[in-house]
Amino acid sequence: MKKALAVSIVSIATLAALGAAYYAMRGEPYESRDKLTSTNQQAVDGSPEITAAADKLIIGNPGAPVTVIEYADYKCPECGQLYQKASVDIRKNYIDTGKAKIEFRPYPLFGEDSGLALYASYCAAEQGKFEAYHDKMFEYMWQNYYQNGDYSAATQELFSPEKLGLLAGEAGLDSTSFTSCAGGKTYADAYNSAIYKAAGDEVQGTPTLIIGGQKVVGPQPYGVYKTLLDIAKS
């Protein structure tokens, strides 16, 4: 796994190409980085927020004093490893207790359907159930592929709006409205802008977590994150 599916390194130009391919797949226009900056004023500089109802993907109390920024892809095997291991304790000890929150940012590395699944996160947030959808996606990949060592799933096309709708329904979302949203472009600006924030954060692979300005790449033992979280909240 480590040799074949090590933390992926891509340029922001590659991410832009993936985004373009994703929107081309759906027959929709893809907005360039320059256009995003001029029209939304929020590509990489952190200026005014997009006004969409689900412009950020948050797990935990939005008012928590510490923010854990997480760049990830649902199909990324190492993101799944982080979810199954260290994230359990991070959520139990910091997120669930209100000490910190997670701001999830899409970083599509594993095909056009990865972009679709990540985009649909905003549709889950629209229903106030992003956490449920996030967990369902990682559990689905783990239970059906990665716990059995089938890491080739990362390169397979697995998701359509309809498939995602089924999974969302299992997670307690309204699958009909979710599927409709996933097949549309309501949150294209929020999705694109989150991706382009990766440039300013110098993200090069998944998973990447940023805690108190410190960047951690790849799944690490819980103690690494605990140290940074304790420093950040002190």
Question: Does position 234 have pLDDT exceeding 60, yes or no?
Answer: yes
* C-beta contacts of 94-98 below 8 A and 24+ residues apart: 94/66, 94/68, 94/229, 95/59, 95/60, 95/64, 95/68, 96/60, 98/60, 98/61, 98/64
Nearest to 109 by CA among 3, 219, 6, 24: 6
pLDDT at site 223 = 98
Lowest mean per-residue pLDDT among 5-19, 128-142, 162-176, 191-205: 5-19
Which numeric CATH code is attached to 12-233? 3.40.30.10
pLDDT at site 214 = 96
pLDDT at site 225 = 98
pLDDT at site 23 = 42
Question: Does position 25 have pLDDT exceeding 60, yes or no?
Answer: no
Alpha carbons 153 and 72: distance in angstroms, whole number: 16
User: What are the structural domain ranges in the chain?
Assistant: 12-233
Question: Does position 122 have pLDDT exceeding 90, yes or no?
Answer: yes
Computed over every residue of the chain, the mean pLDDT equals 83
